[in-house]
Structure 1
Amino acid sequence: MTTARDIMHTGAQWIPAHETLDRAAQMMRDHGVGALPVSAEGEQDKMVGIITDRDIVIKCVASGHDPSRMTAGELCDGTPRWIESTADVDAVLEEMQSHRIRRLPVVEDKKLIGMISEADLALHLSDEQVAGWAEKVYARA
């Protein structure tokens, strides 16, 4: 059985909710990622959301806000989603499809150990699985 751990990429990094979006953008650049899980104030292992590079551009810069003054916590909205490292691929796809999300943090013993992105799905799953995922995630609501 292929699990979330098998297809995730390691090295996912938290950004604290109080950090500014310019710092978030720098972290994304430095780690070569497009998303960062946001940790609760004073609780490194409690996720309050995820921010993406697109969120920073659309919800901050394009809206006239200053990324050096707006925080990661201010940008988060909705309920954060994640999956256990032992979950099978079908559970990963279901979680991502049902919530129409493109990135999914992977946890083990309540600790962030990785992230699953579109690229990870493309690398590890069949063309049919990826096509089915994309159809559901990208379909118009």
Structure 2
Amino acid sequence: MTIGELCNRDTFIVQKEENIVEAAKLMRVFNVGDLIVVSTGKKGNTPIGILTDRDIVMKAVAENSDPQSLTVADIMSDQLVTAKEEDGVYESIENMRRHGVRRLPVVDKEGCLAGILSVDDLLEFLGEEVNGLIGLVYKEQHA
């Protein structure tokens, strides 16, 4: 299975110039913990960073900064780690582990945003695979 088949295609984006208060409101409205920061071009939205609820807490609130004066660019993670749609599951798990990230924006062949893969997505997928194996063992034991 490829990451393109597994990733969530419903992504929520923000521009780097956006105020973090507005970005946080978007997170609340859509009940998400991250927004992909994009640069919009003719081919589509190219991911350039990610803003998480943790970024807002650790880099703005905990430092007593004035949230009204901060933009997404001020606190986003710009050392973005991405996956390609054709990457494999285990390759992506290793990529996440190596870089210590819980979310991977997924890009298409042109480098445009295609989706997002989270640790939760992977756990759900792997859980279903393990359940399938358990069912097979159980079936063999009772045959």
Range class of TM-score, shorter chain: 0.7 to 0.9
Alignment of 1:66 with 2:66, yes or no, is yes
Partner residue, 1:98:
98
RMSD of equivalent CA atoms: 2.2
TM, length-normalised to structure 2 = 0.79
Post-superposition Cα deviations, 1:84-123, rounded to whole Å, max 9, x if no partner, equal 1111101111110110100000111322121111211111
Correspondence for 2:23: 24
Shift of 1:75: 0.7
2: CA distance, partners of 1:66 / 1:74: 12
Aligned residues: 127
| 2:51 counterpart residue number | 51
Runs (4 or more) in structure 1 with deviation over 6 Å come to: none
TM-score by length of 1: 0.80
More helix by share: 2
- Residues 60 and 67 in structure 2, CA contact (< 8 A), matched pair in contact too: yes
CA deviation string 1:39-59 (max 9, x = no partner): 24x657333311100110111
Higher Rg: 2
Q: Could you tell me how far apart the structure 1 residues matched to 2:10 and 2:19 are?
A: 21
**Partners of 1:96 and 1:124 in 2: how far apart?**
16
Equivalence for 2:117: 116
Q: 1:62 to 1:128 in 2, by over 3 A?
A: farther
Gaps of 5+ in 2: 131-143
Contact 2:46 2:113 in 1 (8 A): no
1:124 Cα deviation from its structure 2 partner: 0.6
Percent of aligned positions with the same letter in both sequences? 32
SS at 2:63 equivalent? coil
